[in-house]
Chains A and B, each alone.
Chain A
Amino acid sequence: MNKENQESGSISRRTLIKGTGAMLGAAAFAKAMAPLTEWASHQSMDEFLQQHYRELDEEEMQKVLRRLEEETRRDYGVEVTITDHKPEKGVKFGYALNLSICVGCRKCAQACHRENNHDRASGNSYIQVLEMKKGSLDLENGTVNYSGPVPKKDAFYMPVQCQQCDAPPCVDVCPVEATWKEPDGIVAVDYNWCIGCRYCEAACPYHARRFNWAKPQIPAEDINPAQSYLSNRLRPQGVMEKCTYCLHRTREGRLPACLEACPTGARVFGNVLDPKSEIRWVLENKRVFVLKEELGTKPSFFYFFDE
């Protein structure tokens, strides 16, 4: 075809070397990628093709839930019930925290850890408690790494979790709409749609989001079996997760786990659209403030001090 090929002898040897090189290269590539092909063989086609949460109809959703329950049985050896809790009409959740009586015991963070089936070894939780110096609300003067008996004399304590912003930067930045604002104010994540780019984690001003750096490990007996698709079901590897105000509880009319665990009653949760709710009373009668108000994120999480 071209001039090299017309000179036989040395060229056929060259072609042979090229062919051998190409084969060696292909073999080496297959070897290098071996872990990936092994991994891919464990992925289910149904999961790969699953549509976005908000595209699934009732029947498809049920199929997905049964598949996820089956996968949990297979991977963790435990029977769980996964429900798809929907928001109720006329409900907008609000949360308020009384900084005057929070003692910094971190019981809320521990309750979150158990309730939401966090990876045990990492000790992960959606709540971080800051020990702040009295006289400053600048987070620069706070620390999460405090120890010893609490409360300390010159400190106050500020638990921070997802603020369920009304103008959430994490939702804006997501390239695939894997996270969105629900009608009751909760910012949800579809763990089966998230691509794991972690842009939302960079965008969140409250360190509210967590990434699943590996598949969560929990002993079967420690797993909370009452699970919901958008909240505390066992998350897949490589996706984002966050506080959902325990929607699997709160959408059933119960209180978030962090609130129930609080020994001082510093936490107030409820429907801000209900004029008789406690949260409404707090918002109307206390001088509440929100974290980093200047960023315009419009949190649904409020802090206040007793007079």
Chain B
Amino acid sequence: MNKDSVATAPRHMGGSHLSNYPRFLWRMLVMATEGNWLFYAWMIVLTAVALVGANAWAVQVTQGMGVTHMTDHVSWGLYIANFTFMVGLAAGGVMMVIPAYLYHDKDMHDIVIIGELLAIAAIIMCIAFVVVDLGRPDRFWHLIPGIGKFNFPISMLTWDVIVLNGYLLLNLHICGYLLYHRYLGKQPHPRWYVPFVFISIAWAISIHTVTAFLYQGLGGRPFWNTALLAPRFLTSAFVSGPAFIILALEAIRYLSKYKVGDGAIRILVNIMRITILINLLMLISEIFTEFYTGGSHTASAKYLYFGLHGYNALVPWIWTSIALSLSATIVLLSPKVTEHPQLLITACILAFAAIWIEKGMGLIIPGFIPSTLHEMVEYLPNSLEWRVTAGIWAMGLMIYTLAIRIAMPIFSGEVSLEKDQHPHV
């Protein structure tokens, strides 16, 4: 999966990494192309959507970003909205890592890789969302320290480049190392992954904090310029992350024979019960500050929640988000939620959709409306932007599906070097 694991894997008796590691890579490739009809159908659908997105992006690069609905007034749109949300999803996976490694929860430890793999898929999506938002993706090398010019530490975007790529590498290393050792049938050596797991916990917090700082540090945008932004980012990430993981775990339960312990799901539900309430509390605090104080810096919040000067494109979005959030809270707080999977799945879908709106369009767009000269120019994404966005989601889901498809048989011991070498034993 990554070169890092080769470099850091400890030497052990019998078999050399030189032959075992290529074999491991090949085995993963074979597994990635095997499955039942449902797997093939799912992958074909995702491939088709991803290709539609790739084509839309190619058109955008060729003809310029004027083919989107973004303007000089609303200069970030659906792409950056999704980027922001995906950073949260990537950070959310840490809510499995903490119980597994800090509290040594057995059920969680067995499936913690599901969260770590989610981080990988989500970060790749984040990077993709930034790349499609660039006017000149061909100049990407200008961002590479050493060859380009890297405005570190002044530009928060350079911090984001570091933390996102760092988080990707950390998770690639942890997952790659564990999977390779499971495949070899060796006990993973804690020295080679536990320190990285602990770094990744702090790092997960950093990716969403730094991403919030991108917006939070802009004095000219009062809607973002609030100290509550980073804490609220984290809180909502710890709603959407666990919600998505629960959905993935339920899918694994229904669609495969692998066991997912009830304990793990119960912990995630308990985390969501708290984070979704804190998120609502922060929402109330934000709304109170904006509207009780009043004045012209409230204009964006007025626009978002009630419409301003007759412009109200985001009003239905944000109230949908609030309604979904409240419904999810009620369902999650009900004691029955852990007994009825349908109820839990509903709650997770509601919560996930609520945060997707809130930390996406609901956060990015009002920052630009009204503009810094108080002009009212609205924005709603057009079909090309939706196609590019759907394409990246499809790519991310493909990566995540394949990663789980590969990880589960190796972790359950169903696939190993031993069995590959002696298939009839």
Contact = CB atoms under 8 A, between A and B. Distances in A.
Contacts of B221: 202, 205
Nearest to B140: A195
Contacts of A198: 75-76, 133, 135
Given A198-B76, A238-B136, A173 B374 contact: no
B264 interface: no
A193 B142 contact: yes
A238 B64 contact: yes
A52 interface: yes
Contacts of B134: 195-197, 238
A251 interface: no
A97 B133 CA distance: 37
Contacts of A8: none
Contact of B372 (A2, A145, A207, A213): A207
A175 B158 contact: yes
A178 B75 CA distance: 18
Interface string A1-40: 1111010000000000010000001001101111110111
B136 A36 contact: no
Nearest to A176: B142
A202 B370 CA distance: 12
Given A2-B423, A176-B143, A176-B148, A38 B220 contact: no
B296 A211 contact: no
A207 B371 contact: yes
Interface stretch (B54-62, B191-199, B283-291): B54-62
A237 B377 CA distance: 22
B11 interface: no
Contacts of A145: 375
A220 interface: no
A304 interface: no
A177 B149 contact: yes
Contacts of A239: 135-136
A138 B72 CA distance: 22
B161 interface: yes
A205 B269 CA distance: 42
A160 B65 CA distance: 25
Contacts of B218: 169, 173, 202-203
Nearest to A5: B30
A144 interface: yes
A211 B214 CA distance: 19
A140 interface: yes
Interface of A: 1-4, 6, 18, 25, 28-29, 31-36, 38-40, 43, 48, 52, 128, 130, 138-140, 142-145, 160, 169, 172-178, 193-199, 201-207, 209-215, 236-239, 292, 295-297
